Structure 1
Amino acid sequence: MSEGRVEALYAQLKEMAVNFRIRPGERLNEVMLARELNASRTPLREALNRLVAEQLIDFQPGKGFFCRELDARSIYELYEIRAVLEEAAVRFLCERATDADISALFQNEYQDGLLYVGRTIREASAADEAFHLAIARLSGNRELFRQLALINERIRFIRWVDMAAAVTRTKGEHSRIMDAILRRDAQAAVPLMRGHIVKRMDQIVGSVREGYSNIYVAGPEELFERRLLNEESIK
């Protein structure tokens, strides 16, 4: 069995799971998936089991594989963990990162995150996620970075929903966080990061409701591939 083939199937299935192309709670038909992806059952099963380990897909003994649920409590709990990790990340960064690292963060991920106009919701959200992951990487704690990356995959769909209405606010909050980082002011950066994430936690129920609407009614592609024409139109 080719490792490359398993990796390709894993990437395809992960995209389907993250995007909820398979509806929440829906059973995965392995025969149909194998046909759609032109795959045999063994590499398909291996790829699915990897996604179960990452909690992007559920497995029920005797019943099979299911798309994970989209429920407010689970998302809220993931955001709680995210807040703890990102508070630690920005504190460690202020203490450990080199001046060159901080300068690169400002010039690359932070500046790129300011360029929302003309991007799709997915692209704008990817820039937002890249800024946060860069902070985690510069914390110097590899396990913290790995855990945050896994959580990001499980909340990415909700971040897309939130980003559709939060671009202008996100830019302002990132600016204040970046200013604190440039000063290496962990006492300011930590509460700013927490406030940035907690605001999203307060909106999770509404975001989940809107997420379901996009999955079952409009279709997520309609919203997430829309291009941002100007900042004022998306406040």
Structure 2
Amino acid sequence: MQTTAKPKKTGRAADSVDKVYQAVKELAVEYRFKPGERVNEVELANRLGVSRTPVREALNRLARDGFMSFVPNRGFYARDITPEGVQELYELRAAIERAAFRLACQRGSDADIAKAVAIWQNNSDLGSTTDWAKVAEADEAFHTAVVKLAKNERMLVALESVNSLIRFFRRIDLESSRRRGGLYDEHAAIIDCLKRRDGETGGELLERHITLSSAHAVEVTKEGLARIFFGRTG
């Protein structure tokens, strides 16, 4: 029996799906869809000025990425928030970064290590008017740069996926009084290990630096829900 290959997407169609995916992903990252909310595909397509087809494809991709869930015959729903889920994501991030740190100490050149360190030191000033959103961006960029030093593409892809899922909570975590007290000292200790290429000690420090306790995961989750549903901060 002869089969007919499916036609490939045209460049324009693929671009359209990618653009819709990025636009909807940004909304999902920032929880513009409330947890458990059903996503109205027609409304979303109208909002973005596209047909339902690229919206459906984008939502399918986001479901695979963990930002949505799909219920047959009912549609797509925004991801829920639970303390356990937040804690699991941070545990995964810690495992990836600890393993990558050891490799970074072995494989990173002195020049590349200096560039990674500069990302944090040049973009994370602490003062009376500290912009914690910018600190969070610098924090993510620095940690990502360290993982890049490991020269392991799969680790990097895995971290970038986790980073997208926790970006909303990362800012909340860094703004908390618990984190503010030790953030800069912890980074300084990790950077010192990186410069000395002490992968074991640095990896341990990094894991402790990242991992959330159960109690703190509950605090971060509660604050996240307050911001999503009531627009409250602090």
Query: TM-score, normalized by length of structure 2?
Result: 0.88
| Equivalent residue number for residue 206 of structure 1 | 219
- Aligned residue in 1 for 2:152: 141
Q: Which runs of 5+ in 2 are unaligned?
A: 1-11
Matches within 5 A, 1:138-217: 138-165=149-176, 166-199=179-212, 202-217=215-230
Q: Which residue of 2 aligns with 1:231?
A: none
Alpha-carbon deviation of 1:5? Answer: 1.9
Partner residue of 1:4? Answer: 15
Correspondence 1:1-235 to 2 at 5 A? 2-107=13-118, 109-117=119-127, 118=129, 120-165=131-176, 166-199=179-212, 202-218=215-231, 223=233
- Who wins on radius of gyration, i.e. which is larger? 2
Q: Is the 8 A contact 2:67 2:79 kept in 1?
A: yes
Question: For the structure 1 residues 158 and 174, does the alpha-carbon distance in structure 2 shift closer, same or farther, using more than 3 Å as the test?
Answer: same
Residues in 2 aligned to 1:141 and 1:200: alpha-carbon distance in whole angstroms: 28
CA contact (8 A) 1:89 1:136 kept: yes
Tell me the amino acid that sits aligned with residue 20 of structure 2. L
Contact 1:161–1:207 at 8 Å: present in 2 too?
Answer: yes
Bigger mean CA deviation after superposition, 62-71 or 76-85: 76-85
Deviates more, 1:138-147 or 1:73-82: 73-82
Letter in 1 for 2:79: R
Cα RMSD of the aligned pairs, angstroms, is: 1.8
Q: Please, which moves more after superposition, 14-23 or 154-163? A: 154-163
Counterpart-to-counterpart distance in 2, 1:123 and 1:171: 14
What is the rounded CA distance, in whole Å, between the counterparts of 2:154 and 2:36 in structure 1? 30
What is the total number of aligned residue pairs between the two structures?
220
Q: CA deviation at 1:101?
A: 1.2
Q: Give the counterpart letter for 2:219 in structure 1.
A: G
Change (3 A) 1:38 1:120: farther
**1:158-182 Cα distance to aligned partner (Å, 9 max, x none):** 1111121234521111111001111
Between 1:4-13 and 1:173-182, the stretch displaced more is 4-13
State the identity %. 36
Name stretches of at least 5 consecutive residues in structure 1 with no aligned partner: 225-235
TM-superposed deviation, 1:100: 1.4
Q: CA deviation at 1:74?
A: 1.4
Q: Distance in 2 between matches of 1:137 and 1:216?
A: 36
Q: Do the aligned residues in 2 keep the contact of 1:79 with 1:201 (CA within 8 Å)?
A: no
Matching residue's letter, 2:30? N
4+ long deviations beyond 4 Å? 116-119, 199-202
Q: Please state how far the C-alpha of 1:115 moved relative to its aligned partner.
A: 2.3
- For the Cα contact (< 8 Å) 2:91–2:212, is it kept in 1? no
Distance 2:139 2:198 in 1: 21
